[in-house]
Amino acid sequence: MKNAFIYTDTYLDYDYGPTHPLRIIRLKLTYDLINAYGLLDLPTVQFIPTQKAEEKELAFFHDEEYLSLLRQANEGFPLGEAYAYGLGPGDNPIFPGLFNLSLLVVGATLQAVDFVADGNGAIAFNIAGGLHHAMRSMASGFCYVNDPVIGIMRLLRRGKRVAYIDIDAHHGDGVQKAFYHTNQVLTISLHETGYTLFPRTGFEYEIGEGEGKGYSVNLPFPPETEDDIYVWTFEEVVPELIHAFQPDVVVTQLGVDTFYNDPLTNLHLSIFGYERVLKRIKDLAPKWVALGGGGYNIFNVARAWTLAWAVMNGVELEEALPESFMTMALGMGIEESGLRGHWQTLQHRQNEENRVEMERVVRYIKEAVLPKVRG
Ligand SMILES: [Zn+2]
């Protein structure tokens, strides 16, 4: 049984634009660090080059009119009606090849899904995936097509029971909305509270509707939340939910924009907290489709997803980054030389208040949600 790493350098043909925070180069940087550590040469690893999805796959979730607009937007020219679909200057720019890039990202997620569903292995990682904000007929939050939703829908068609865990700093709103009325998918999102961050949703009282009541779970964290409270909250809620739901496959969105030095968000996690959560997910997931996500400090992205891939393969890495990688990183102005780096805890200014708030949220989830999933 192998673990699949799905990637292609073709991603680098596309560019959101010079001032956009989502930089495609972070994927290449991650691939290079993983490669420099020798993590693609392990006997447990199968490297799979990304293949584009067929266009019809996107139509399982997205609206035809919206897809036809994305096809036109692929030329890279402004479109009059685009604004109504969330496209245009700002978060979701129109750039040459954006539909091709979308097909690649969805393709890689479907390759990951099929890899585990076919029984080829227990884990597959698509670092380019995790575009969790895209809606049925709307681009949102740097996301044009929702590869987690499309991947989960294929798993459902293949008769699998799916739990989705989203640890991006932003609420996984697009995925939650897609499965808000069903009990066939359990969605769990840990994120910075909507009071202070896009997309302004993901409050604990959003728990699903109708048959889906109890199958959407939200853990909104206050700004400046640190590792200890974050990991405590995860432990209080997530393992019990997964044990009660008993998924065949766990799909995760592994955004790295929760770190204290991410330029777009306000949580104060470190790579140590991230690693602890990843190790727990590995214990909990019978099969694991891992997707990327946000992360706007590209060196954090490379280090965290390299560590994630090491966790998936049960490998302990040297703290010193490989020399071949450092030579390149120095050329990009990156000076830190450690995998995890030196993390000094901050002032703990907010710590006590944040702990009280998360104890309240955990109590709410245990009362309002857990009994429903337990059935
Ligand atoms: Zn994010």
Task: Please give the span between the terminal C-alpha atoms of the chain, in angstroms, as a whole number.
Answer: 34
Per-residue pLDDT at 342? 75
pLDDT at 55 over 70: yes
| Ligand 1 midpoint to CA 230 (Å) | 16
Per-residue pLDDT at 337? 84
Q: Per 3-state DSSP, what percentage of the chain is helix, strand, and coil (rounded to 5)?
A: 40, 15, 45
| Ligand 1 midpoint to CA 323 (Å) | 30
CB 185 within 8 A of CB 156: yes
Residue scoring higher pLDDT (329 or 61): 61
| Ligand 1 midpoint to CA 12 (Å) | 21
Instruction: At 298, list the tokens.
Output: 């590209």
- Give the pLDDT band (50/70/90) at residue 1: confident
pLDDT one-digit tens code per residue, 261-287: 999 999 999 999 999 999 999 999 999
| Ligand 1 midpoint to CA 305 (Å) | 15
Mean pLDDT value across the chain: 96
pLDDT at 332 over 90: no
Per-residue pLDDT at 347? 58
Instruction: At 220, list the tokens.
Output: 């909104």
The rounded distance, in Å, linking the Cα atoms of 68 and 179 is 24
DSSP state of 144: S
**Region at 270 (left for phi over 0; alpha for psi -120 to 50; beta for the rest):** beta
For residue 196, the SS3 value is coil
Per-residue pLDDT at 189? 99
Kindly report whether the peptide bond that precedes residue 18 is cis, defined as omega within 30 degrees of 0.
no
The rounded distance, in Å, linking the Cα atoms of 279 and 291 is 15
pLDDT one-digit tens code per residue, 114-139: 999 999 999 999 999 999 999 999 99
pLDDT at 17 over 80: yes
Residue with tokens 């009325």: 181
Q: Which residues contact residue 102 at a Cβ distance below 8 angstroms, ignoring those fewer than 6 apart?
A: 58, 70, 144, 145
The pLDDT of 182-196, averaged and rounded, is 98
| Ligand 1 midpoint to CA 375 (Å) | 32
DSSP state of 163: E
For residue 255, the SS3 value is coil
- Give the pLDDT band (50/70/90) at residue 344: low
- Give the pLDDT band (50/70/90) at residue 375: confident
Q: Is 171 among the catalytic positions? A: no
pLDDT at 348 over 90: no
Instruction: At 30, list the tokens.
Output: 């991650």
For residue 290, the SS3 value is strand
A 10 A CB-CB count for 366 gives 13
| Ligand 1 midpoint to CA 259 (Å) | 11
- Give the pLDDT band (50/70/90) at residue 349: low
Per-residue pLDDT at 346? 58
| Ligand 1 midpoint to CA 293 (Å) | 6
For residue 90, the SS3 value is coil
Q: Determine which one of 62, 132, 133, 191 is catalytic.
A: 133
CB 74 within 8 A of CB 100: yes
pLDDT one-digit tens code per residue, 212-262: 999 999 999 999 999 999 999 999 999 999 999 999 999 999 999 999 999
Helices within the chain (DSSP H only)? 25-36, 55-58, 64-73, 98-117, 147-157, 173-178, 227-245, 271-284, 298-312, 323-331, 351-368, 370-374
